[in-house]
Amino acid sequence: MAAAVASAPAANVVRLPANNAAIYKQAVADLEEHLTGEEATYARDTIRALIDKVVIRPSEQR
């Protein structure tokens, strides 16, 4: 996999912050806390902040 990443065009390489796992973990914890009651709107906004785009590609496995 490292070779594939190394040979990938720069436009296809995503650089994540070193603490990305901690940021994501905190965002998911916040989301879980706000999924009920009056906080549901906040939860939806939090989800949208985590998702840049959704890409669906056909594959031979499906």
* Percentage of residues in the chain having pLDDT higher than 70: 89
Q: For residues 33-58, give the mean pLDDT.
A: 83
In a domain, 62, yes or no: yes
Token look-up 């720069």 returns 10
In a domain, 6, yes or no: no
Specify the pTM. 0.43
18-27, 33-42, 50-59, range with the lowest pLDDT: 33-42
Q: For residues 38-62, give the mean pLDDT.
A: 83
In a domain, 9, yes or no: no
Instruction: Give the domain extent around 44.
Output: 16-62
In a domain, 52, yes or no: yes
In a domain, 44, yes or no: yes
Instruction: State the Cα–Cα distance between residues 27 and 24, nearest whole angstrom.
Output: 5
Residue 44 is classified by DSSP as H
Number of domains forming the structure of the chain? 1
In a domain, 5, yes or no: no
In a domain, 61, yes or no: yes
pLDDT confidence tier of residue 62, bands split at 50, 70 and 90: low
